[in-house]
Structure 1
Amino acid sequence: MVGTGGPVATFSVWDYVVFAATILGAAGIGLFQAIRGRKETTSDEFLLGGRQMTAVPVAMSLTASFMSGITVIGTPAEAYRFGAAFWLFGFSYSIMSTITAEIFVPLFYRLGITSAYEYLGLRFSRPIRIIGTSMYIVQTALYTGLVIYAPALALNQITGLDLWGVLVATGAVCIIYCTLGGLKAVIWTDVLQMVVMLVGFVAVIARGAVLRGGLTQVFEDAREGGRLKTFDFNPDPRMRHSFWSILIGGSIMWVSIYSINQSQVQRYISCKTLGHAKMSLYVNMVGLWLTVSLAMLTGLTMYSIYKMCDPFTNGDVSTYDQLLPYLVMDILASYPGVPGLFVAAAYSGTLSTVSSSINALVAVTMEDFIIPLWTNRTQKQVTWLNMGLSVFFGGVCIGMAGVASLLGSVLQAALSIFGMISGPLLGLYVLGMFFRTPNSIGSLSGMIIGLVLTLWVGIGSQIYPPTADKTLPLPLSTVGCNSTISQNYTTQTPWTSTVPMTTLPSVRPPLADSWYSLSYLYFAVVGVLVTVVSGLLISIATGGCKQEKLHPDLFVKTSDLFCFRSCNTSEAPHTEEKNGIDNKVFTELPPEIISKEMTTKL
């Protein structure tokens, strides 16, 4: 009986058919784009879609890029355990979209960059550009491996799908359409995958509402269980999710993802006009609202069904990440193909993130490492190198999934560490875009100080997890379970070796319940503030005020804000063809020379 615990059904033939059809459909889009654009083989076409993309498909791709399989599976589990506070991220998405569209997009679009880290070379120096790119490559490769592995592991234990078979299939499909179709294939595939993700949520919500007698009953159950207490105005920064931590910390965190992360920047600068680029972010904002709303409603529906029999406490699943796959097999197994649709939804999120990462990794590697050093290249050589790098990074991401399988309980710790990098890096961009005083020495020093500080608090919070009731989940029950079984699930990991669980320290240091208990949402805020303040002070002390005048196009202008113009020469990105000078040569020059050379270029 649904909602009373115990084993659930596994995949049927039709489920496998639906799942396979979705993956083949994604590969088909890549092949179609490859055939359609077979005569357009320039690097600009491969990495930026020829800068001719429009707002709506780019917006859906922006949304799908960070709505990974972890999001599809993890967000409903968040609502199930902690309630609907996560819904407040809708405010963060609005703030993030406005800041990115009105401040970062005009500047990047005006400079005609391909890699987001080109700006660091133009504003500061080539070494800082290389450091920023290297940080991104390491972070993205590791994160992508986790994105592949985490949902595969959760679904493997519930559906019986072979773990390594799905891991390799995921990487292979992404390699195919990234290699053959470039950014256009990635964007249009993301559109399909975004639709599949939303349909998967709707299927679960609809069936759950029918079983519970309507959405009204779902919300009533959630209210009685304390899941609808969304607005908590407690200003304590140790609160895991409060109105203030989500509004302030969440906004800065998402700004660091959308404004300077190559996976996102590469999409909106591929738009054919500045108006399309800005509009893509506002349409993306609506897509994020819709996605988080459906994910949270799915979690509330799951609570309504299992409010009297928590599958985790009852031993039916071994981690909370398996709750949603368990629910799907529990309530939808009698509808052949529908569970397969949900699994396809989870893997669509994974595919979109992986393909976006591969394409972005190729772009920064080419623009920041290879092209500046390989001056006598031909277009054909660049094309083949783009494709070869797609295969290489696809293989790296699959390999990182294998590494993730050995991390055991460290998975979440690793994800948190990767997130800490974005705050100090955003602070570096803020220094360059808003202040003329920062120089290379001060800015780099400020970023290092900010990074050390965020790693300190982040790693400390993993070693000494908060024990206060500020982070405890809401109560769950097993009084309605038909049976109680032991947690005897086994994981089909690629290797038989396992990572032993780390015993938490019995003696907690003085900082454990203060500094180390800081909400993870404030990590990025700390990184930005420390980087900006220390970067300014060190720059002043090292002669930053005596720098030669820098070109005004390197800074945010008041004319950039809320300005939608028709397509004209002034809003089109600067390119080699329009200016007669390769934009990339300026990344080789120190800031004091850039200001003089850019006058000629721009």
Structure 2
Amino acid sequence: MSPIILLSFLVVYFVILLGVSYFTSKGSADNSTFFVANRNSKWYLVAFGMIGTALSGVTFISVPGDIGNAPAGLEPNNFSYFQFVLGNALGFVIIAYVLLPLYYRMNLTSIYTYLEERLGYKSYKSGAMIFLVSRTIGSAFRLYLVAIVLQRYIFDAWNIPFFVTVSACLLLIWLYTNKGGLKTIIITDTLQTTFLVLAVILSIYFMADGLGITVIEAFEKVKDSSYSKVFIWENLLGDTRHFWKHVIGGAFVTIAMTGLDQDLMQKNLSMKTIGEAQKNMMTFTSIFIVINIFFLCVGALLYFYADANGINIADLGKSDYLYPEIALRHLGLLPGIVFMMGLTAATFATTDSALTALTTSYCVDFLGFNKKENPNDPKLVKQRNIVHMAFSVVMLLVILLFHVINDDSVVSAIFKIAGYTYGPLLGLFAFGILTKRRVNDNLVPYICVLAPLFIWLLTMYVLPYTSYKIGFELIVYNGLITYLLLLITSPGRASEKELSN
């Protein structure tokens, strides 16, 4: 497909987003609008829009491409990723009925203020800083994925540097989120999720058509193939994809990366009542499971198409390129535009939301906007704008660094990093919720560094000499070590005032 056609589509796409931003930010566009959308969001819009935020370009490209990959000496991944999705669903239920009631009872803007009330000032700052680092890295990785596709299939044709490609993406995101913040994002994410869902459904149709079969026949072909194998029960120690590793890891990754993450929780906190927030979360969970099944089916059809048309996946360099290669260079104009629509929607729905959450967390947790007499003071609004721009620049630098050093598929890289960065956050919240003890607040920052460092040393220098392979459950061990260190150093029982929070 011609790069100029793809670029024209992107221009039109962002004009639409800028238009949405203009209309949603008319009138009041103060800090209350930016941070929590004036707590007046409709649950059904948030539930649908969260799909785009939760899935991202990682699901859109890496998950379908990864089903044909195989760990050394083992069978291909096939649909084993769905075990992880089942764990995600379990995690979403826990978030809805354990964490959300806590956040609503305390009327939080930043969820990390819970840590200050329950554990202490340094625990609070440690938790907020963990989020800032974790979400910046995770969102940068996700944007990196779409940037390398845009670079390869559009901007390389004009020898435009990768730096310019990423900078342009972040500038456009900053432009349509800077004024309206969360109020704008709830609408743009609804629009972008619509594009994403439409793209995955149409991709199945175009792939089936390319194979000369109907959609029904395509699903039958997938079901009857080896790719449809979901459950892996063998080799608990040596296979990172074992059922229990995936389900347990998926549940705790979800609790940490969603329930303890300001990004997705900020949207839940924008609703009027806890009942609406829980209804949103359960509706979102149902759609999330179905959409992931569709993505896995797309993956199987991609491999069928590659086999039928002599496409050598090894020549592409990595499986992340399989979907864009077939959609943009083999299926024709309309399928290519549909693919680009879905990829752009999935990735930018994640990045715009992350930038808003990062700005919110920094302004509330480190600049104390929630403690100001007038949080909507024009000077504070201007300060928030500067913070928003600063995080865009930081994300740019992280993407450029990742572009130099990454050689894994993006999906594995994201969850590997999350296992290290979100683990201490999981341990902190678990300690606060599950125990009635105080922490040694002065030691908490050190514990949050020592726990992931210990796990890293274990995985690098001990586990390679054993038969055990760590998968997504890495975050569980990290959180557990944090929890145990907090327990060991605890000076005693918390006061009734601390526990009442």
Same fold (TM over 0.5): yes
Q: Does 1:21 align with 2:12?
A: yes
Q: Does 1:298 align with 2:245?
A: no
Kindly state the Cα deviation for residue 225 of structure 1 after the two structures are TM-superposed: 5.2
Task: Name the residue aligned to 2:472.
Answer: 521
Residues 372 and 121 (structure 1 numbering): CA distance in 2 closer, same or farther, change over 3 Å?
farther
Partner amino acid for 1:261? D
Task: Name the residue aligned to 1:530.
Answer: 481
SS in 2 for 1:99: helix
Q: Residues of 1 paired with 2:57 and 2:196: CA distance?
A: 9
Structure 1 segments, 4+ long, off by >6 Å, are: none
SS in 1 for 2:109: coil
Contact 2:249/2:475 (CA < 8 Å) preserved in 1? yes
Contact 1:444/1:535 (CA < 8 Å) preserved in 2? no
SS in 1 for 2:228: coil
Unaligned ranges ≥5, structure 2: 70-76
Segment drifting more, 159-168 vs 118-127:
159-168
Segment drifting more, 434-443 vs 176-185:
434-443
Kindly state the Cα deviation for residue 235 of structure 1 after the two structures are TM-superposed: 6.0
| 1:110-189 correspondence runs (5 A) | 110-160=105-155, 162=160, 163-189=162-188
Kindly state the Cα deviation for residue 74 of structure 1 after the two structures are TM-superposed: 0.4
Q: Deviations over 1:479-528 (max 9, x none)?
A: xxxxxxxxxxxxxxxxxxxxxxxxxxxxxx6631537x523211111122
Contact 1:358/1:393 (CA < 8 Å) preserved in 2? yes
Query: How many equivalent residue pairs?
Result: 485
Contact 1:362/1:390 (CA < 8 Å) preserved in 2? yes
Q: Does 1:544 align with 2:496?
A: no
Residues 423 and 449 (structure 1 numbering): CA distance in 2 closer, same or farther, change over 3 Å?
same
Segment drifting more, 529-538 vs 44-53:
529-538
Contact 1:65/1:353 (CA < 8 Å) preserved in 2? yes
Task: Name the residue aligned to 1:201.
Answer: 200
Kindly state the Cα deviation for residue 158 of structure 1 after the two structures are TM-superposed: 3.6
Task: Name the residue aligned to 1:264.
Answer: 264
Task: Name the residue aligned to 1:228.
Answer: 228
Kindly state the Cα deviation for residue 160 of structure 1 after the two structures are TM-superposed: 5.0
Task: Name the residue aligned to 2:345.
Answer: 348
Contact 1:197/1:349 (CA < 8 Å) preserved in 2? yes
SS in 1 for 2:229: coil
Contact 1:207/1:332 (CA < 8 Å) preserved in 2? yes
Kindly state the Cα deviation for residue 199 of structure 1 after the two structures are TM-superposed: 1.5
Kindly state the Cα deviation for residue 423 of structure 1 after the two structures are TM-superposed: 2.1
Task: Name the residue aligned to 1:370.
Answer: 367
Task: Name the residue aligned to 1:74.
Answer: 62
Question: Alignment RMSD, CA only?
Answer: 2.6
SS in 1 for 2:474: helix
Q: Residues of 2 paired with 1:518 and 1:241: CA distance?
A: 9
Contact 2:6/2:154 (CA < 8 Å) preserved in 1? no
| 1:280-295 correspondence runs (5 A) | 280-295=280-295
Q: Does 1:49 align with 2:32?
A: no
Residues 202 and 165 (structure 1 numbering): CA distance in 2 closer, same or farther, change over 3 Å?
farther
Segment drifting more, 104-113 vs 161-170:
161-170
| 1:498-509 correspondence runs (5 A) | none
TM-score, L = length of structure 2: 0.89
Q: Residues of 1 paired with 2:41 and 2:102: CA distance?
A: 18
Kindly state the Cα deviation for residue 32 of structure 1 after the two structures are TM-superposed: 1.3
Residues 30 and 511 (structure 1 numbering): CA distance in 2 closer, same or farther, change over 3 Å?
same
Higher-helix-fraction structure:
2
SS in 2 for 1:409: coil
Task: Name the residue aligned to 1:455.
Answer: 456
Kindly state the Cα deviation for residue 372 of structure 1 after the two structures are TM-superposed: 6.5
Contact 1:110/1:553 (CA < 8 Å) preserved in 2? no
Q: Does 1:390 align with 2:388?
A: yes
Residues 67 and 42 (structure 1 numbering): CA distance in 2 closer, same or farther, change over 3 Å?
same
Q: Residues of 1 paired with 2:29 and 2:224: CA distance?
A: 59
Kindly state the Cα deviation for residue 529 of structure 1 after the two structures are TM-superposed: 2.2
Q: Residues of 2 paired with 1:110 and 1:457: CA distance?
A: 39
Percent identity reads: 19
Q: Residues of 2 paired with 1:127 and 1:102: CA distance?
A: 27
Kindly state the Cα deviation for residue 151 of structure 1 after the two structures are TM-superposed: 2.2
Segment drifting more, 76-85 vs 414-423:
414-423
Contact 2:3/2:154 (CA < 8 Å) preserved in 1? no
Kindly state the Cα deviation for residue 409 of structure 1 after the two structures are TM-superposed: 2.3
Kindly state the Cα deviation for residue 414 of structure 1 after the two structures are TM-superposed: 5.8
Residues 312 and 522 (structure 1 numbering): CA distance in 2 closer, same or farther, change over 3 Å?
farther
Task: Name the residue aligned to 1:59.
Answer: 47
Kindly state the Cα deviation for residue 358 of structure 1 after the two structures are TM-superposed: 0.9
Partner amino acid for 1:233? W
Task: Name the residue aligned to 1:439.
Answer: 439
Partner amino acid for 2:454? L
Q: Residues of 2 paired with 1:399 and 1:445: CA distance?
A: 26
Segment drifting more, 408-417 vs 252-261:
408-417
Residues 41 and 153 (structure 1 numbering): CA distance in 2 closer, same or farther, change over 3 Å?
closer
Task: Name the residue aligned to 2:379.
Answer: 381
SS in 1 for 2:407: helix
Task: Name the residue aligned to 1:276.
Answer: 276
Unaligned ranges ≥5, structure 1: 1-9, 461-508, 555-602
| 1:320-359 correspondence runs (5 A) | 320-333=319-332, 336-359=333-356
Kindly state the Cα deviation for residue 265 of structure 1 after the two structures are TM-superposed: 1.4
- Larger-Rg structure: 1
Q: Residues of 2 paired with 1:314 and 1:453: CA distance?
A: 36
Q: Residues of 1 paired with 2:378 and 2:3: CA distance?
A: 47
Q: Deviations over 1:401-450 (max 9, x none)?
A: 22222224278586323442212211110110121124234766654443
Residues 372 and 345 (structure 1 numbering): CA distance in 2 closer, same or farther, change over 3 Å?
closer
Task: Name the residue aligned to 2:463.
Answer: 511
Partner amino acid for 2:287? G
Q: Residues of 2 paired with 1:214 and 1:128: CA distance?
A: 56
Kindly state the Cα deviation for residue 155 of structure 1 after the two structures are TM-superposed: 4.0
Q: Residues of 1 paired with 2:206 and 2:167: CA distance?
A: 32
Residues 232 and 404 (structure 1 numbering): CA distance in 2 closer, same or farther, change over 3 Å?
closer
